[in-house]
């Protein structure tokens, strides 16, 4: 077990105030979230601090995750650009910014989807309403309870094994979902794909299903790494899905009442932040607000694995490998032979020093596992990857543009203190940025070392004078 798992989120007021989703912010943000995402109020605060102006600035989040930045910025009238390399993040961000979706069409599709999913479940001899809890049953249309007329939709070709062949199922960590909830999820996915033709509607329902998988169907907890909970025999997946879709529809109606269309433009791309080719021919960026990964042994592909596989976003080992290789090297499970992001930080003494200290500590401790041998290397690759990101971003920024990077210090590698924000400041200077400051956002206490680890906001500027 690595030591990151022993770093506790403070349970006291600081955590609540600083990082929790405030109840008023549930609208849209709550549709699907990462435990390591930052809260909307941080975005609000930094849009002000950075002097962002909606009449002038496009806001960009290169590591958009679950879209906290673009959603919050758009709610404040900003045009936005977003990228992420993980397809589940791209799906979440697209859906959270599709405010022109036809809600009446979603409502009628929902009834058809539930009806077909219910028929599929009966076909495999499972009652559409789970035994375990029926308190949500009020929300389920009559179709699910078997009271509706046959609409002509057929469940005959529902084949769980075709939707989730053994090779695909093998990508899901053992015990993350039990058999009955799994069948319910697959029936919903099948029904969405059969019934809904318009891609924006499909995506909307797919995100509702992703939410249902994480909150209701799966046996997972997050703290902050994903872990397995005691298995549940069954779960009211269809009802939870129906409630989620209804909530999403009502959120959209609330937003559009407050902020009638047209909404500011919002473009979302699947892209590697070290490349950013999707930004070619896009407007120049005035504000960047983001939280990249940091070297902490967290595997984003694992914490989003269940929903990514069940929605068919990752189908094979090869696809998983390609996905991992498009991410910043922030953990030893996504280091590959031939990686060379470290070439660009060889002349940054602070980064080289911390990597050498990690390797030195490993030798002293006589640690010899393959993962432990990679700790110093992943640190170099991480900061080198961030150099590449800063370098490709710079020409996309307007002169004077300002950026906020939220990053945490780490002690995951033999307790060597990686002061992420300070090191990234050195990397950014080499890439041509001015460093305006490092603010403390909050602290997390390591239960292993009893030391407070800082989470900081690094403020950068594209100099006014460069080309």
Can you give the binding site for ligand SAM, defined by CB under 6 A? 34, 36-38, 63, 65-66, 68, 83-86, 89, 272-274, 291-293, 300, 326-328
Q: Minimum distance between the CB of residue 25 and ligand SAM, rounded to whole angstroms?
A: 12
Q: Minimum distance between the CB of residue 155 and ligand SAM, rounded to whole angstroms?
A: 35
Give the nearer residue to ligand SAM in terms of CB position, either 63 or 176.
Answer: 63
How many angstroms separate the CA atoms of 42 and 79, rounded?
A: 18
Q: Minimum distance between the CB of residue 435 and ligand SAM, rounded to whole angstroms?
A: 21
65 conformational bin, left if phi > 0, alpha if psi -120 to 50, beta if neither: left
Give the nearer residue to ligand SAM in terms of CB position, either 219 or 326.
Answer: 326
Give the nearer residue to ligand SAM in terms of CB position, either 4 or 272.
Answer: 272
- Are residues 305 and 176 in contact, defined by beta-carbon separation less than 8 angstroms? yes
Q: What is the dihedral of CA 334, 340, 346, 348, to 10 degrees?
A: -50
Q: Minimum distance between the CB of residue 152 and ligand SAM, rounded to whole angstroms?
A: 41
Q: Minimum distance between the CB of residue 411 and ligand SAM, rounded to whole angstroms?
A: 18
ω before 262 within 30° of 0 (cis)?
yes
- Are residues 9 and 225 in contact, defined by beta-carbon separation less than 8 angstroms? no
Q: Minimum distance between the CB of residue 309 and ligand SAM, rounded to whole angstroms?
A: 16
What contacts 189, CB < 8 A, 6 or more positions away? 163, 206, 209, 310, 311, 312
How many angstroms separate the CA atoms of 16 and 9, rounded?
A: 10
Q: Minimum distance between the CB of residue 196 and ligand SAM, rounded to whole angstroms?
A: 26
Length of the chain counted residue by residue = 467
How many angstroms separate the CA atoms of 427 and 351, rounded?
A: 8
- Are residues 34 and 303 in contact, defined by beta-carbon separation less than 8 angstroms? yes
- Kindly give the residue spans of alpha helices, DSSP state H, lying in 124-236: 160-163, 166-169, 179-195, 199-212
Give the nearer residue to ligand SAM in terms of CB position, either 41 or 184.
Answer: 41
Give the nearer residue to ligand SAM in terms of CB position, either 118 or 306.
Answer: 306
Q: Minimum distance between the CB of residue 313 and ligand SAM, rounded to whole angstroms?
A: 12
Give the nearer residue to ligand SAM in terms of CB position, either 319 or 357.
Answer: 319
Give the nearer residue to ligand SAM in terms of CB position, either 112 or 409.
Answer: 409
Q: Rg of the chain over CA atoms, in angstroms?
A: 23
Structure tokens at 222: 């997050």
Q: Minimum distance between the CB of residue 60 and ligand SAM, rounded to whole angstroms?
A: 12
How many angstroms separate the CA atoms of 81 and 59, rounded?
A: 6
Structure tokens at 240: 């939870």
By DSSP bridging, strand 452-461 and strand 226-228 are unpaired
Q: Minimum distance between the CB of residue 91 and ligand SAM, rounded to whole angstroms?
A: 12
Q: Minimum distance between the CB of residue 459 and ligand SAM, rounded to whole angstroms?
A: 16
- The string over 251-262, giving b where at least 16 C-beta atoms fall within 10 Å of a residue's C-beta and e elsewhere, is bbeebeeeeeee
Give the nearer residue to ligand SAM in terms of CB position, either 160 or 292.
Answer: 292
Give the nearer residue to ligand SAM in terms of CB position, either 36 or 81.
Answer: 36
Phi, psi of 112 (to 5 degrees): -65, -40
Using Cβ positions, the residue closest to ligand SAM within the complex turns out to be 65
Assign 440 to helix, strand or coil: strand
Give the nearer residue to ligand SAM in terms of CB position, either 42 or 208.
Answer: 42
Give the nearer residue to ligand SAM in terms of CB position, either 122 or 377.
Answer: 377
Give the nearer residue to ligand SAM in terms of CB position, either 109 or 332.
Answer: 332
Burial-class residue 62 by CB neighbours within 10 Å (0-12, 13-18, 19+): buried
Q: Minimum distance between the CB of residue 46 and ligand SAM, rounded to whole angstroms?
A: 12
Phi, psi of 351 (to 5 degrees): -75, -45
- Are residues 255 and 27 in contact, defined by beta-carbon separation less than 8 angstroms? yes
Helix (H) or strand (E) holding 267: strand 266-270
């Amino acid at each position: 077990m690595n030591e990151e798992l022993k770093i506790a989120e403070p349970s006291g007021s600081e955590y609540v105030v600083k990082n929790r989703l405030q109840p008023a912010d549930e609208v849209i943000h709550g549709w699907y979230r990462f435990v390591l995402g930052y809260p909307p109020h941080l975005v609000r605060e930094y849009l002000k601090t950075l002097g962002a102006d909606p009449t002038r600035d496009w806001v960009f989040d290169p590591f958009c995750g679950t879209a906290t930045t673009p959603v919050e910025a758009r709610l404040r009238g900003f045009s936005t650009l977003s990228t992420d390399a993980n397809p589940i993040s791209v799906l979440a961000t697209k859906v959270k910014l599709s405010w022109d979706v036809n809600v009446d069409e979603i409502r009628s599709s929902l009834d058809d989807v539930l009806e077909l999913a219910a028929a599929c479940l009966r076909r495999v001899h499972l009652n559409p309403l789970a035994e375990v809890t029926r308190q949500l049953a009020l929300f389920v249309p009559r179709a699910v309870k078997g009271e509706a007329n046959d609409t002509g939709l057929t469940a005959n070709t529902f084949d769980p094994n075709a939707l989730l062949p053994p090779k695909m199922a093998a990508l899901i960590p053992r015990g993350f979902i039990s058999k009955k909830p799994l069948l319910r999820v697959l029936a919903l996915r099948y029904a969405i794909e059969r019934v809904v033709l318009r891609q924006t509607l499909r995506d909307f329902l797919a995100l509702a299903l992703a939410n249902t998988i994480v909150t209701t169907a799966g046996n997972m907890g997050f703290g902050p790494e994903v872990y397995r909970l005691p298995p549940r025999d069954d779960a009211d997946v269809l009802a939870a899905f129906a409630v989620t879709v209804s909530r999403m529809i009502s959120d959209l109606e609330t937003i559009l009442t407050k902020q009638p269309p047209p909404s500011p433009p919002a473009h979302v791309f699947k892209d590697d932040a070290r490349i950013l080719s999707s930004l070619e021919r896009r407007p120049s960026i005035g504000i960047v607000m983001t939280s990249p990964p940091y070297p902490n042994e967290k595997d984003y592909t694992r914490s989003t694995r269940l929903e990514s596989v069940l929605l068919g976003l990752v189908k094979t080992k090869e696809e998983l490998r390609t996905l991992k290789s498009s991410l910043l090297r922030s953990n030893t499970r996504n280091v590959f032979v031939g990686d060379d992001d470290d070439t660009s930080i060889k002349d940054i003494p602070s980064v080289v020093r911390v990597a050498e200290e990690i390797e030195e500590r490993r030798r002293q401790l006589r640690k010899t596992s393959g993962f432990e041998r990679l700790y110093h290397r992943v640190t170099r690759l991480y900061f080198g990857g961030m150099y590449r990101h800063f370098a490709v971003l710079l020409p996309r920024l307007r002169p004077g543009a300002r950026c906020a990077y939220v990053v945490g210090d780490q002690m995951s590698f033999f307790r060597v203190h990686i002061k992420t924000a300070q090191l990234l400041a050195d990397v950014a200077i080499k890439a041509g940025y001015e460093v305006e400051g490092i603010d403390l956002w909050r602290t997390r206490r390591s239960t292993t070392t009893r030391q407070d680890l800082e989470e900081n906001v690094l403020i950068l500027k594209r100099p006014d004078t460069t080309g």
